Structure 1
């Protein structure tokens, strides 16, 4: 089976490769094709993968190319993890927003809109090429903003594009751990959009264990989200929010922490990864060891500003292990081998969550088999969550409309309608600021 990884020079590709090395079953991935627009990054990551595969006799064959069409032909699965504009673009997203006093995070608020506006046209082009060159391939999308990009690609690929994210997986794992349950044996009632969802129940043997967690302040304070949001707020909600909802519920504090930071997250990662790729280009430097040390630093500083604002302390060691690569592998196995499983994925709504329409991509538990991912019917969200989901989905639709039409006015509307942008005039200045620093937004007229 052939897997093509778009963004194949990306820093997290070794996580996917490491998961593949542990799969020795029949029907496994035997060939990996890396594609990236940056040949230097491809060479660095190829070195890391070669060192990872040392001593593994049945390791997949790895090739690399900068030719997109060549990478797509013959693919059974396409894993899309591109970053349009690179980490320099992410740093611009953050700085322009913070200068206006609003959030610049890469998937939430102004920063997420800017990232979406320059990513959607590229993602749509990829979807069209996949439909033409590999019509039987399944596309697994991890490109952020994952729900928005998956919805853009679904217009050309239908249900053959599925979005994944490690946030719900990590959240469910943490809740199960503090409740003394095995994550694989628990049903996680999770619903929302990508980076905008809530765990409303965790059932083990037919019994919902979440009320026990919400009633125990000590248990609530023993894991990441409990410390991040606070026990009182979680009890008020009656649910455990995805960590990204901290940007909504504690927006002023989060923006303040970002403004006080010595440098933004994007700037930190840009500098950190520049050092990694420079070092990995030296044949005398063990590339895998350098990658592992860099990754440990990256994971330990994840959402550091939010934890500072909440007084949540450092991340626990068990939360530094990633997870999206495991979701991707489980999804590929389920489809390729008809190994039926349940995963939280980004898929088209198809009547699952009212009041969104059928084509709206949502993030919910799905039953997965050889025919793809099938969303499980969920109970309605409470009014406060429904309002937020509908507002953010409306913004995503304006981003898609702006990307299709090239309309600057529609882009302004997308920013202005977002719950975390507090003025139409701020929205106009954001569009001016982003178009000034992003060549990829030159299409907005």
Structure 2
């Protein structure tokens, strides 16, 4: 079975390949095709994968190409993990937003909108090519902003595109661990949009254990989200939010911390990964060892400004091992082998959330089988959460409209309507600044 990875020169590709190496079952992936626009990055990542495969007799064959159509033909699965504009684009997203006093994170607020505006046209082109060259392929979207990009691609691929994220999985795992439950045996009641969701219950053997967590200050203080949001706020919500909701609930503090930081996250990763690719490209360099060291530093510094603001301390060792590659492999197995499972995924809403239309992509538990992912029925969101979900989904729709029409006015509207952008004037300045630094936004007129 052929798997194509778009963005195949990306830093996290070895995580995916490592997961594939552990799969020895029937119907497994036997061929991996990496596609990227940067041949140098492809060479570096291919070297890492070759070292990973050493001593594994049935390791999937790896090839690399800069030809997109060649990469897609004959694929059974396509992982889309592109980054339009690269890490320099992410760093610019952060810098422009922070100069206006608003959040520049790559999926949330102004930075997420800028990233979405330049990513959607590329993702739509990919979706159209998949429909033409690999009409039976399943597309698993890793590309951020994951919900927005998945919805853009679903307009051309329907339910054959599914978005994934490791944040809900990690959150559910941490809650189960704190409660002394096996994460594999726990059902997580999670609902929302990508990077905008809440755990409202965690059922073990039919019993909801979340009230026990919320009633115990010691338990709440023993895991990352409990320290990040604080016990009092979690009890007020009656739920445990995805870590990305810290940008909403503590926005002023986070923006201040990001403005005071010596370097933004994007700038840090740009410097770090530039160094990795340069070193890994040298003859005889230990590419896998270099990658492992770089990844450990990357994971340990994740959301460090937020944790510092909240006094949440360092990340737990169990949270430094990745996770999205495991979700992707479980999803692929379920579809390819009809191994029924339940995963939290980004899929079309249908009737799951009554406050959104059927085509809106949401992030909810789904049953997965050979026919794809099917969202599980969910109880209605409380008013505060429904209002936030509807507001952010409206912004996503404006981004999709602007990307489709090229309307600059619609792009301004997307920024202005976001809950974390507090001024139409600021929205106009953001569009001016982003179009000045991103060639990929030249289509806005």
Name the TM-score, length of structure 2 as normaliser.
Answer: 1.00
Deviation at 1:443, TM superposition (A): 0.2
d(CA) in 2 for partners of 1:336, 1:375? 19
Give the secondary-structure state (helix, strand or coil) at the position aligned to 1:322.
coil
Q: Give the match for residue 59 of structure 1.
A: 59
Tell me if 1:387 matches 2:369. no
Q: Give the match for residue 103 of structure 2.
A: 103
d(CA) in 1 for partners of 2:156, 2:194? 20
Task: Say how many residue pairs are matched.
Answer: 445
Mapping for residues 43-82 of structure 1, pairs under 5 Å: 43-82=43-82
Deviation at 1:285, TM superposition (A): 1.3
d(CA) in 2 for partners of 1:248, 1:388? 10
Tell me if 1:232 matches 2:229. no
d(CA) in 2 for partners of 1:392, 1:131? 29
Q: Give the match for residue 437 of structure 2.
A: 437
Deviation at 1:363, TM superposition (A): 0.2
Q: Give the match for residue 165 of structure 1.
A: 165
Q: Give the match for residue 142 of structure 2.
A: 142
Mapping for residues 291-302 of structure 1, pairs under 5 Å: 291-302=291-302
d(CA) in 2 for partners of 1:257, 1:314? 16
d(CA) in 2 for partners of 1:312, 1:332? 35
Tell me if 1:277 matches 2:277. yes
Runs of 4+ in 1 over 6 A off after TM superposition: none
Give the secondary-structure state (helix, strand or coil) at the position aligned to 1:294.
helix
Deviation at 1:354, TM superposition (A): 1.1
Give the secondary-structure state (helix, strand or coil) at the position aligned to 1:5.
strand
Q: Give the match for residue 265 of structure 1.
A: 265
Give the secondary-structure state (helix, strand or coil) at the position aligned to 1:367.
strand
d(CA) in 1 for partners of 2:74, 2:25? 21
d(CA) in 2 for partners of 1:354, 1:6? 34
Mapping for residues 30-49 of structure 1, pairs under 5 Å: 30-49=30-49
Deviation at 1:188, TM superposition (A): 0.2
Deviation at 1:156, TM superposition (A): 0.3
Q: Give the match for residue 369 of structure 2.
A: 369
Give the secondary-structure state (helix, strand or coil) at the position aligned to 1:191.
strand
Deviation at 1:381, TM superposition (A): 0.3
Q: Give the match for residue 83 of structure 2.
A: 83
d(CA) in 2 for partners of 1:395, 1:322? 29
Deviation at 1:355, TM superposition (A): 1.1
Q: Give the match for residue 320 of structure 2.
A: 320
Deviation at 1:264, TM superposition (A): 0.3
Give the secondary-structure state (helix, strand or coil) at the position aligned to 1:197.
strand
Alignment RMSD (CA, Å): 0.3
Deviation at 1:283, TM superposition (A): 1.9
Mapping for residues 301-340 of structure 1, pairs under 5 Å: 301-340=301-340
Tell me if 1:286 matches 2:286. yes
d(CA) in 1 for partners of 2:310, 2:104? 18
Q: Give the match for residue 12 of structure 2.
A: 12
Give the secondary-structure state (helix, strand or coil) at the position aligned to 2:25.
coil
Q: Give the match for residue 218 of structure 2.
A: 218
Mapping for residues 117-136 of structure 1, pairs under 5 Å: 117-136=117-136
Deviation at 1:88, TM superposition (A): 0.1
